[in-house]
């Protein structure tokens, strides 16, 4: 370790020629820490062998996770994975708050759809009653019409508009 103006520097060590301990360019260089910061306090250095593409992933994302260093990011990843592996019920690894929030979002969406379907059914019942009161349609024609309407709605994938019905009626 070299000290300059009260600040310590540690040079990343390795063996040249692609052998043990050589790190890719983004990981080489000086690791700076100030006196009393405790950056290396209660920590141990050890060799870490990872693929270059894994290091590239760490390099791209560690700052986005508010990590001060790649080492901090890797340590957090290990803690997360350790928690995942040691949890008895893998589904309970996500906090119950997240699970209950997702369930309430899905339930609210279902309730909203149910209310809209109910309103749509009421409007459709009004239209059907108005049409039935003003038209005299025999049961056989009604059955054929229902079959044709089912085909048409399937063909349009359920998105039938009034204009589509008018065009269909005109032939």
Q: Would you state the structure tokens that stand for residue 39, as one six-digit string?
A: 């950056």
Residue 128 three-state SS: helix
pLDDT by residue, tens only, the chain of 171 residues: 333 343 333 333 433 344 333 333 333 333 444 444 455 678 888 888 999 999 999 999 988 888 889 999 999 888 888 877 777 665 556 666 677 788 889 988 888 999 999 998 999 888 888 888 888 888 898 899 889 888 888 888 888 788 888 887 887
Residue 164 three-state SS: helix
pTM, full prediction: 0.35
Cα 13 to Cα 1: distance, rounded to the nearest angstrom: 11
Chain centroid, CA 72 distance in Å: 24
Cα 129 to Cα 144: distance, rounded to the nearest angstrom: 19
């Amino acid at each position: 370790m070299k000290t300059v103006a009260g600040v310590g520097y540690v040079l990343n060590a390795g063996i040249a020629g692609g052998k043990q301990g050589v790190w890719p360019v983004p990981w080489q260089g000086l690791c700076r820490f100030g006196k009393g910061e405790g950056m290396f306090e209660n920590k141990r250095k050890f060799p870490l062998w990872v693929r270059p593409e894994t290091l590239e992933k760490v390099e791209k994302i560690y700052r986005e996770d508010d990590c001060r260093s790649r080492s901090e990011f890797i340590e957090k990843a290990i803690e997360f994975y350790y928690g995942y592996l040691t949890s008895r019920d893998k589904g309970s690894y996500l906090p119950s708050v997240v699970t209950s929030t997702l369930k309430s979002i899905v339930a609210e969406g279902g309730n909203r759809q149910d209310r809209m379907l109910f309103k749509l059914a009421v409007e459709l019942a009004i239209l059907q009653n108005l049409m039935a009161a003003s038209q005299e349609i025999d049961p056989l024609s009604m059955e054929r019409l229902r079959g044709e309407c089912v085909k048409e709605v399937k063909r349009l994938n359920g998105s039938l508009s009034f204009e589509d019905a008018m065009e269909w009626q005109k032939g």
